[in-house]
Structure 1
Amino acid sequence: MMSASKFIKCVTVGDGAVGKTCMLICYTSNKFPTDYVPTVFDNFSANVAVDGNIVNLGLWDTAGQEDYSRLRPLSYRGADVFVLAFSLLSRPSYENVMKKWMPELRRFAPNVPIVLVGTKLDLRDGKGYLNDHTSSGVITSAQGEELRKQIYAAAYIECSSKTQQNVKAVFDNAIKVVLQPPRRKEIAMKKRQRRSSHSCFFTYTVIYFERVSAFHNTFNTRAMQPEQLEYQCFTARATGGSCVEVVFIKISAASTSSAKPLDMNH
Protein backbone atom coordinates (compact mmCIF):
# COMPACT_ATOMS: atom_id res chain seq x y z
CA MET A 1 0.00 0.00 0.00
CA MET A 2 1.19 3.52 -0.76
CA SER A 3 2.30 5.73 2.10
CA ALA A 4 -0.38 7.89 3.69
CA SER A 5 -0.41 11.55 2.74
CA LYS A 6 -2.25 12.76 5.84
CA PHE A 7 -2.63 11.78 9.48
CA ILE A 8 -6.16 12.01 10.90
CA LYS A 9 -6.83 11.84 14.61
CA CYS A 10 -10.33 10.53 15.32
CA VAL A 11 -11.57 10.59 18.93
CA THR A 12 -14.67 8.70 20.10
CA VAL A 13 -16.76 10.21 22.88
CA GLY A 14 -20.11 9.46 24.51
CA ASP A 15 -21.66 8.00 27.65
CA GLY A 16 -20.22 4.89 29.23
CA ALA A 17 -21.64 1.53 28.08
CA VAL A 18 -23.02 2.84 24.77
CA GLY A 19 -20.65 0.60 22.80
CA LYS A 20 -17.80 2.91 21.79
CA THR A 21 -15.05 0.41 22.59
CA CYS A 22 -16.87 -2.49 20.93
CA MET A 23 -17.30 -0.37 17.81
CA LEU A 24 -13.56 0.36 17.69
CA ILE A 25 -12.61 -3.28 18.26
CA CYS A 26 -15.05 -4.37 15.58
CA TYR A 27 -13.66 -1.84 13.11
CA THR A 28 -10.01 -2.72 13.70
CA SER A 29 -10.36 -6.51 13.99
CA ASN A 30 -13.50 -7.22 11.91
CA LYS A 31 -15.01 -9.22 14.74
CA PHE A 32 -17.28 -8.58 17.71
CA PRO A 33 -15.62 -9.09 21.11
CA THR A 34 -17.35 -11.85 23.03
CA ASP A 35 -15.00 -11.93 26.00
CA TYR A 36 -13.53 -9.11 28.07
CA VAL A 37 -14.12 -5.60 26.73
CA PRO A 38 -11.76 -2.99 28.20
CA THR A 39 -13.09 0.31 29.50
CA VAL A 40 -10.86 2.12 27.02
CA PHE A 41 -9.56 0.77 23.73
CA ASP A 42 -5.79 1.02 23.12
CA ASN A 43 -4.93 3.76 20.63
CA PHE A 44 -4.82 2.39 17.09
CA SER A 45 -3.16 3.69 13.95
CA ALA A 46 -3.25 2.27 10.42
CA ASN A 47 -3.28 3.35 6.80
CA VAL A 48 -6.83 3.45 5.43
CA ALA A 49 -8.02 4.03 1.85
CA VAL A 50 -11.22 6.04 1.32
CA ASP A 51 -12.36 7.28 -2.09
CA GLY A 52 -8.87 6.86 -3.51
CA ASN A 53 -7.22 8.74 -0.65
CA ILE A 54 -4.81 6.96 1.68
CA VAL A 55 -4.65 8.40 5.19
CA ASN A 56 -3.08 7.32 8.43
CA LEU A 57 -6.06 7.03 10.76
CA GLY A 58 -5.41 7.31 14.46
CA LEU A 59 -8.26 6.12 16.70
CA TRP A 60 -8.54 7.36 20.28
CA ASP A 61 -11.07 5.96 22.72
CA THR A 62 -12.30 7.82 25.80
CA ALA A 63 -14.17 6.80 28.93
CA GLY A 64 -17.56 8.44 29.34
CA GLN A 65 -17.86 8.06 33.10
CA GLU A 66 -17.70 11.14 35.32
CA ASP A 67 -14.56 9.80 37.02
CA TYR A 68 -12.66 10.58 33.83
CA SER A 69 -14.09 14.05 33.21
CA ARG A 70 -10.84 15.83 34.08
CA LEU A 71 -8.53 13.51 32.16
CA ARG A 72 -10.70 12.97 29.10
CA PRO A 73 -10.16 16.41 27.48
CA LEU A 74 -6.43 15.66 27.29
CA SER A 75 -7.30 13.28 24.44
CA TYR A 76 -8.96 16.08 22.48
CA ARG A 77 -5.75 17.94 21.71
CA GLY A 78 -5.01 17.77 17.99
CA ALA A 79 -8.27 15.97 17.15
CA ASP A 80 -9.39 16.27 13.53
CA VAL A 81 -12.84 14.74 14.00
CA PHE A 82 -15.02 13.39 16.81
CA VAL A 83 -17.25 10.31 16.66
CA LEU A 84 -19.96 11.14 19.21
CA ALA A 85 -21.88 7.99 20.13
CA PHE A 86 -25.11 7.26 21.97
CA SER A 87 -27.09 4.05 22.36
CA LEU A 88 -30.28 3.67 20.34
CA LEU A 89 -31.68 1.84 23.38
CA SER A 90 -30.81 4.52 25.94
CA ARG A 91 -32.66 7.82 25.98
CA PRO A 92 -30.38 9.22 28.72
CA SER A 93 -27.32 8.70 26.50
CA TYR A 94 -29.20 10.39 23.64
CA GLU A 95 -30.15 13.36 25.82
CA ASN A 96 -26.61 13.65 27.17
CA VAL A 97 -25.35 14.48 23.68
CA MET A 98 -26.84 17.95 24.17
CA LYS A 99 -26.60 18.17 27.96
CA LYS A 100 -23.07 16.91 28.50
CA TRP A 101 -21.06 16.18 25.37
CA MET A 102 -21.70 19.19 23.20
CA PRO A 103 -20.84 21.67 26.00
CA GLU A 104 -17.63 19.73 26.65
CA LEU A 105 -16.62 19.57 22.99
CA ARG A 106 -17.48 23.22 22.39
CA ARG A 107 -15.31 24.16 25.34
CA PHE A 108 -12.23 22.10 24.54
CA ALA A 109 -12.46 21.63 20.75
CA PRO A 110 -14.94 24.18 19.35
CA ASN A 111 -14.00 23.92 15.67
CA VAL A 112 -13.62 20.16 15.27
CA PRO A 113 -16.30 18.43 13.11
CA ILE A 114 -18.52 15.72 14.57
CA VAL A 115 -19.98 12.48 13.23
CA LEU A 116 -23.01 11.45 15.33
CA VAL A 117 -23.48 7.70 15.79
CA GLY A 118 -26.35 5.64 17.19
CA THR A 119 -25.09 2.24 18.38
CA LYS A 120 -26.74 -1.16 19.01
CA LEU A 121 -28.84 -0.98 15.86
CA ASP A 122 -29.35 -4.75 15.80
CA LEU A 123 -31.06 -4.66 19.20
CA ARG A 124 -33.31 -1.72 18.39
CA ASP A 125 -34.49 -3.28 15.13
CA GLY A 126 -34.69 -6.79 16.54
CA LYS A 127 -38.19 -8.09 17.19
CA GLY A 128 -37.32 -9.68 20.51
CA TYR A 129 -36.09 -6.49 22.18
CA LEU A 130 -39.28 -4.49 21.74
CA ASN A 131 -41.32 -7.46 22.92
CA ASP A 132 -39.45 -7.45 26.24
CA HIS A 133 -38.87 -3.70 26.71
CA THR A 134 -40.88 -0.50 26.51
CA SER A 135 -40.43 1.50 23.33
CA SER A 136 -40.33 4.83 25.20
CA GLY A 137 -36.56 4.64 25.65
CA VAL A 138 -35.79 3.64 22.08
CA ILE A 139 -34.40 6.29 19.72
CA THR A 140 -35.81 6.36 16.20
CA SER A 141 -33.86 7.22 13.06
CA ALA A 142 -35.85 10.45 12.75
CA GLN A 143 -34.90 11.47 16.29
CA GLY A 144 -31.25 10.76 15.56
CA GLU A 145 -31.36 12.88 12.42
CA GLU A 146 -33.04 15.70 14.31
CA LEU A 147 -30.27 15.61 16.90
CA ARG A 148 -27.69 15.77 14.12
CA LYS A 149 -29.25 19.00 12.90
CA GLN A 150 -29.34 20.47 16.40
CA ILE A 151 -25.62 19.91 17.01
CA TYR A 152 -24.58 20.66 13.41
CA ALA A 153 -22.95 17.24 13.04
CA ALA A 154 -21.53 16.46 9.62
CA ALA A 155 -23.29 13.08 9.45
CA TYR A 156 -25.56 10.72 11.40
CA ILE A 157 -25.07 6.97 11.16
CA GLU A 158 -26.72 4.05 12.96
CA CYS A 159 -24.56 0.97 13.37
CA SER A 160 -24.27 -2.42 15.03
CA SER A 161 -20.93 -3.74 16.24
CA LYS A 162 -22.38 -7.22 16.70
CA THR A 163 -23.44 -7.56 13.06
CA GLN A 164 -20.80 -5.05 11.82
CA GLN A 165 -23.54 -3.17 9.99
CA ASN A 166 -22.37 0.36 9.08
CA VAL A 167 -19.32 0.22 11.38
CA LYS A 168 -16.95 0.85 8.48
CA ALA A 169 -19.26 3.62 7.26
CA VAL A 170 -18.83 5.44 10.59
CA PHE A 171 -15.09 5.85 10.16
CA ASP A 172 -15.23 6.30 6.39
CA ASN A 173 -17.51 9.28 7.00
CA ALA A 174 -15.19 10.60 9.70
CA ILE A 175 -12.30 10.53 7.23
CA LYS A 176 -14.35 12.16 4.48
CA VAL A 177 -15.41 14.98 6.80
CA VAL A 178 -11.75 15.84 7.36
CA LEU A 179 -10.69 15.45 3.72
CA GLN A 180 -13.75 17.16 2.26
CA PRO A 181 -15.10 19.58 4.87
CA PRO A 182 -18.38 21.40 4.12
CA ARG A 183 -17.97 24.77 2.47
CA ARG A 184 -17.53 27.54 4.99
CA LYS A 185 -20.45 29.52 3.66
CA GLU A 186 -22.78 26.59 4.30
CA ILE A 187 -21.38 26.14 7.81
CA ALA A 188 -21.86 29.82 8.56
CA MET A 189 -25.47 29.74 7.40
CA LYS A 190 -26.18 26.67 9.57
CA LYS A 191 -24.80 28.51 12.59
CA ARG A 192 -26.69 31.70 11.77
CA GLN A 193 -29.50 31.30 14.29
CA ARG A 194 -27.16 30.32 17.12
CA ARG A 195 -24.69 33.14 16.56
CA SER A 196 -27.37 35.79 16.16
CA SER A 197 -27.99 35.59 19.92
CA HIS A 198 -24.31 36.20 20.73
CA SER A 199 -22.60 39.55 21.22
CA CYS A 200 -21.31 40.96 17.94
CA PHE A 201 -18.80 43.72 17.33
CA PHE A 202 -19.26 46.10 14.41
CA THR A 203 -18.61 49.47 12.84
CA TYR A 204 -20.33 49.44 9.45
CA THR A 205 -20.06 45.66 9.47
CA VAL A 206 -20.52 43.39 12.44
CA ILE A 207 -17.51 41.22 13.21
CA TYR A 208 -17.81 38.07 15.34
CA PHE A 209 -14.68 36.37 16.66
CA GLU A 210 -14.89 32.89 18.14
CA ARG A 211 -11.66 33.31 20.09
CA VAL A 212 -11.11 37.07 20.18
CA SER A 213 -13.11 39.02 22.76
CA ALA A 214 -12.48 42.60 21.63
CA PHE A 215 -11.85 44.61 18.48
CA HIS A 216 -10.76 48.26 18.44
CA ASN A 217 -13.10 51.07 17.36
CA THR A 218 -16.19 48.92 17.51
CA PHE A 219 -19.73 48.95 18.86
CA ASN A 220 -21.58 46.21 20.66
CA THR A 221 -25.17 44.97 20.47
CA ARG A 222 -27.13 41.86 21.36
CA ALA A 223 -30.68 42.39 20.08
CA MET A 224 -30.08 41.20 16.53
CA GLN A 225 -32.87 39.59 14.52
CA PRO A 226 -31.81 36.72 12.23
CA GLU A 227 -33.28 38.41 9.15
CA GLN A 228 -31.04 41.42 9.72
CA LEU A 229 -27.86 39.39 9.44
CA GLU A 230 -25.89 38.10 6.51
CA TYR A 231 -22.89 35.90 7.25
CA GLN A 232 -19.63 35.53 5.39
CA CYS A 233 -16.96 33.29 6.90
CA PHE A 234 -13.20 33.05 6.44
CA THR A 235 -10.09 32.25 8.47
CA ALA A 236 -7.77 34.96 9.77
CA ARG A 237 -4.53 34.94 11.74
CA ALA A 238 -4.74 36.49 15.18
CA THR A 239 -2.02 38.05 17.28
CA GLY A 240 0.41 35.32 18.28
CA GLY A 241 -0.01 33.42 15.02
CA SER A 242 -3.04 31.27 15.88
CA CYS A 243 -5.79 30.90 13.29
CA VAL A 244 -9.30 31.98 14.26
CA GLU A 245 -12.59 31.79 12.43
CA VAL A 246 -14.00 35.22 11.64
CA VAL A 247 -17.54 35.92 10.52
CA PHE A 248 -18.45 39.24 8.90
CA ILE A 249 -22.11 40.10 9.33
CA LYS A 250 -23.79 42.77 7.28
CA ILE A 251 -26.37 44.57 9.39
CA SER A 252 -29.30 46.73 8.38
CA ALA A 253 -29.11 50.43 9.25
CA ALA A 254 -32.13 50.21 11.56
CA SER A 255 -30.28 47.74 13.76
CA THR A 256 -27.52 50.19 14.66
CA SER A 257 -29.74 52.83 16.23
CA SER A 258 -29.74 51.29 19.71
CA ALA A 259 -26.10 50.18 19.71
CA LYS A 260 -23.80 51.70 22.31
CA PRO A 261 -20.09 52.22 21.67
CA LEU A 262 -17.65 50.18 23.71
CA ASP A 263 -15.03 52.08 25.68
CA MET A 264 -11.85 50.40 24.46
CA ASN A 265 -9.71 52.35 26.93
CA HIS A 266 -10.73 50.11 29.84
Structure 2
Amino acid sequence: MNCILVGDRTVGKSSLATLLQTGRFYQENVPTVHDIVRKTIIHNSQSIKYYLWDSSNNNVYDNSISILYRKADVVLVCYAVDNIISFNNTVSKWIPEIKQFMPSKPFILVGLKSDLRFEKDSVCEQEAKTVADKFNAQTHIYCSSLINNNINLLLSTTIQIQQNWQMLHAENTDQK
Protein backbone atom coordinates (compact mmCIF):
# COMPACT_ATOMS: atom_id res chain seq x y z
CA MET A 1 0.00 0.00 0.00
CA ASN A 2 1.33 3.40 -1.00
CA CYS A 3 0.67 6.61 0.94
CA ILE A 4 1.92 10.14 0.51
CA LEU A 5 2.16 12.88 3.14
CA VAL A 6 1.43 16.38 1.83
CA GLY A 7 1.12 19.70 3.61
CA ASP A 8 2.99 22.87 4.43
CA ARG A 9 6.55 22.89 5.71
CA THR A 10 7.14 22.30 9.41
CA VAL A 11 3.67 20.86 10.13
CA GLY A 12 5.19 17.58 11.35
CA LYS A 13 5.18 15.33 8.26
CA SER A 14 8.83 14.37 8.62
CA SER A 15 8.43 13.78 12.36
CA LEU A 16 5.61 11.36 11.61
CA ALA A 17 7.65 9.59 8.92
CA THR A 18 10.69 9.39 11.20
CA LEU A 19 8.61 8.01 14.07
CA LEU A 20 7.23 5.31 11.78
CA GLN A 21 10.71 4.46 10.48
CA THR A 22 12.69 4.55 13.72
CA GLY A 23 10.14 4.43 16.52
CA ARG A 24 11.59 7.67 17.90
CA PHE A 25 10.72 11.36 17.84
CA TYR A 26 13.45 13.82 16.88
CA GLN A 27 13.00 17.51 17.68
CA GLU A 28 15.17 18.95 14.89
CA ASN A 29 13.58 19.90 11.57
CA VAL A 30 15.37 18.50 8.53
CA PRO A 31 14.13 19.54 5.06
CA THR A 32 12.67 16.63 3.12
CA VAL A 33 13.34 15.49 -0.42
CA HIS A 34 10.79 12.70 -0.95
CA ASP A 35 11.89 10.29 1.78
CA ILE A 36 10.29 6.86 1.69
CA VAL A 37 9.36 4.93 4.82
CA ARG A 38 8.95 1.18 4.36
CA LYS A 39 7.15 -0.67 7.10
CA THR A 40 5.41 -4.01 7.41
CA ILE A 41 2.21 -3.72 9.40
CA ILE A 42 -0.01 -6.51 10.68
CA HIS A 43 -3.62 -5.54 10.02
CA ASN A 44 -6.49 -7.99 10.65
CA SER A 45 -3.97 -10.86 10.73
CA GLN A 46 -2.55 -9.83 7.34
CA SER A 47 0.98 -8.61 6.69
CA ILE A 48 0.75 -5.32 4.78
CA LYS A 49 3.75 -3.67 3.12
CA TYR A 50 3.21 0.01 3.87
CA TYR A 51 5.15 2.61 1.86
CA LEU A 52 4.90 6.21 3.01
CA TRP A 53 6.34 9.02 0.90
CA ASP A 54 7.23 12.10 2.91
CA SER A 55 6.89 14.72 0.20
CA SER A 56 8.78 17.96 -0.08
CA ASN A 57 6.69 21.01 -0.84
CA ASN A 58 9.60 22.79 -2.44
CA ASN A 59 8.83 24.15 -5.93
CA VAL A 60 11.95 22.45 -7.29
CA TYR A 61 10.21 19.11 -6.78
CA ASP A 62 6.75 20.10 -8.10
CA ASN A 63 7.18 18.05 -11.28
CA SER A 64 7.78 14.83 -9.38
CA ILE A 65 4.81 15.31 -7.05
CA SER A 66 2.40 14.30 -9.82
CA ILE A 67 4.21 10.96 -10.09
CA LEU A 68 3.90 10.41 -6.34
CA TYR A 69 0.19 11.23 -6.43
CA ARG A 70 -0.42 8.73 -9.21
CA LYS A 71 1.37 5.98 -7.27
CA ALA A 72 -0.46 6.73 -4.02
CA ASP A 73 -3.39 4.66 -2.81
CA VAL A 74 -4.25 7.17 -0.08
CA VAL A 75 -3.06 10.74 0.54
CA LEU A 76 -2.57 12.10 4.04
CA VAL A 77 -3.26 15.85 3.88
CA CYS A 78 -1.43 17.24 6.90
CA TYR A 79 -1.65 20.46 8.86
CA ALA A 80 -0.35 21.48 12.28
CA VAL A 81 -3.18 22.02 14.76
CA ASP A 82 -1.32 25.02 16.18
CA ASN A 83 -0.92 26.65 12.74
CA ILE A 84 -4.14 28.02 11.23
CA ILE A 85 -2.31 29.02 8.03
CA SER A 86 -1.30 25.41 7.40
CA PHE A 87 -4.93 24.39 7.98
CA ASN A 88 -6.21 27.04 5.56
CA ASN A 89 -3.68 25.83 2.98
CA THR A 90 -5.24 22.36 3.07
CA VAL A 91 -8.30 24.01 1.48
CA SER A 92 -6.55 26.50 -0.80
CA LYS A 93 -3.64 24.36 -2.02
CA TRP A 94 -3.41 20.71 -0.96
CA ILE A 95 -6.94 19.41 -1.49
CA PRO A 96 -7.27 21.11 -4.91
CA GLU A 97 -3.91 19.60 -5.89
CA ILE A 98 -5.14 16.13 -4.91
CA LYS A 99 -8.35 16.63 -6.87
CA GLN A 100 -6.25 17.64 -9.89
CA PHE A 101 -3.88 14.66 -9.86
CA MET A 102 -6.06 11.91 -8.40
CA PRO A 103 -9.70 13.01 -8.32
CA SER A 104 -11.21 9.67 -7.36
CA LYS A 105 -8.72 8.35 -4.82
CA PRO A 106 -9.23 8.70 -1.07
CA PHE A 107 -7.54 11.13 1.28
CA ILE A 108 -7.48 11.70 5.02
CA LEU A 109 -7.22 15.10 6.70
CA VAL A 110 -4.57 14.74 9.41
CA GLY A 111 -4.09 17.22 12.25
CA LEU A 112 -0.48 16.81 13.37
CA LYS A 113 0.98 18.08 16.65
CA SER A 114 -2.26 17.21 18.43
CA ASP A 115 -0.43 17.59 21.73
CA LEU A 116 -0.79 21.35 21.06
CA ARG A 117 -4.49 21.33 20.17
CA PHE A 118 -5.58 23.09 23.36
CA GLU A 119 -3.19 25.99 22.79
CA LYS A 120 -4.58 29.44 22.00
CA ASP A 121 -5.51 29.88 18.31
CA SER A 122 -5.31 26.18 17.49
CA VAL A 123 -7.60 24.61 14.91
CA CYS A 124 -10.70 23.26 16.64
CA GLU A 125 -11.92 19.75 15.92
CA GLN A 126 -15.29 20.90 14.58
CA GLU A 127 -13.57 23.17 12.03
CA ALA A 128 -11.44 20.28 10.83
CA LYS A 129 -14.40 17.90 10.60
CA THR A 130 -16.36 20.51 8.62
CA VAL A 131 -13.53 20.81 6.08
CA ALA A 132 -13.14 17.02 5.91
CA ASP A 133 -16.86 16.62 5.21
CA LYS A 134 -17.04 19.51 2.73
CA PHE A 135 -14.22 18.14 0.57
CA ASN A 136 -15.13 14.44 0.91
CA ALA A 137 -12.14 13.36 2.95
CA GLN A 138 -12.54 9.81 4.20
CA THR A 139 -12.05 11.03 7.76
CA HIS A 140 -10.16 13.45 9.97
CA ILE A 141 -7.62 12.20 12.51
CA TYR A 142 -5.60 14.07 15.12
CA CYS A 143 -2.20 12.60 15.95
CA SER A 144 1.04 13.55 17.64
CA SER A 145 4.48 12.18 16.89
CA LEU A 146 5.86 13.75 20.07
CA ILE A 147 3.61 11.74 22.39
CA ASN A 148 2.91 8.92 19.91
CA ASN A 149 -0.83 9.61 20.00
CA ASN A 150 -3.16 8.00 17.41
CA ILE A 151 -0.28 6.91 15.17
CA ASN A 152 -1.48 3.30 15.07
CA LEU A 153 -5.03 4.54 14.52
CA LEU A 154 -3.82 6.56 11.53
CA LEU A 155 -2.03 3.54 10.06
CA SER A 156 -4.92 1.12 10.54
CA THR A 157 -7.46 3.65 9.24
CA THR A 158 -5.33 4.30 6.17
CA ILE A 159 -5.07 0.58 5.43
CA GLN A 160 -8.79 0.03 5.97
CA ILE A 161 -9.69 2.95 3.68
CA GLN A 162 -7.38 1.64 0.97
CA GLN A 163 -8.80 -1.87 1.22
CA ASN A 164 -12.39 -0.57 1.13
CA TRP A 165 -11.57 1.61 -1.88
CA GLN A 166 -10.00 -1.34 -3.70
CA MET A 167 -13.04 -3.55 -3.04
CA LEU A 168 -15.43 -0.83 -4.18
CA HIS A 169 -13.34 -0.15 -7.27
CA ALA A 170 -13.19 -3.89 -8.07
CA GLU A 171 -16.98 -4.19 -7.68
CA ASN A 172 -17.56 -1.22 -9.99
CA THR A 173 -15.18 -2.71 -12.57
CA ASP A 174 -16.95 -6.09 -12.35
CA GLN A 175 -20.35 -4.46 -12.99
CA LYS A 176 -19.23 -2.85 -16.25
Q: TM-score, normalised by structure 1?
A: 0.59
Q: Deviations over 1:138-166 (max 9, x none)?
A: 20011111111011111110011110111
Q: Distance in 2 between matches of 1:41 and 1:12?
A: 10
Percentage identity across aligned positions? 26
User: Would the aligned equivalents of 1:26 and 1:167 in 2 still touch at CA under 8 Å?
Assistant: no
Aligned to 1:44: 37
Higher strand proportion, which one?
Answer: 1
What's the counterpart of residue 180 of structure 1? 164
Distance 1:100 1:67, change over 3 A: same
Which runs of 5 or more residues in structure 1 are unaligned? 1-7, 185-232, 238-245, 247-266
Name the aligned partner's letter for residue 71 of structure 1. S
> What's the C-alpha RMSD, in Å, of the aligned pairs?
2.4
The alpha-carbon distance between structure 1 residues 114 and 36, as it changes in their structure 2 partners (threshold 3 A), is closer
- Map 1:1-266; keep pairs closer than 5 Å: 8-35=1-28, 37-40=30-33, 42-125=35-118, 129-130=119-120, 135=121, 138-181=122-165, 234-235=172-173
Q: Which has the larger radius of gyration?
A: 1
- In structure 2, stretches of 5+ residues that fail to align are none
SS at match of 1:153: coil
Give 4+ residue runs of structure 1 displaced > 6 Å after superposition.
none
Does the residue aligned with 1:69 lie in a helix, a strand or coil? helix
Q: Check conservation: 1:21, 1:40, Cα contact below 8 A.
A: no
Shift of 1:38: 3.9
Contact 2:112 2:144 (8 Å CA) reproduced? yes
CA contact (8 A) 2:21 2:38 kept: no
Quick check: which one's helix share is greater? 2
Q: Is the 8 A contact 2:10 2:29 kept in 1?
A: no
Alignment-mate amino acid for residue 106 of structure 1: K
Relative contact order, higher structure (CA 8 A, sep 6+): 2
Amino acid at match of 2:131: L
- Aligned residue pairs, count: 174
Rounded Cα–Cα distance in structure 1 between residues aligned with 2:92 and 2:27? 32
**Distance in 2 of aligned mates of 1:36 and 1:100:** 22
- Structure 1 stretch displaced more, 35-44 or 8-17: 35-44
TM-score by length of structure 2 reads: 0.87
User: Given residue 123 of structure 1, which amino acid in structure 2 is its aligned partner?
Assistant: L
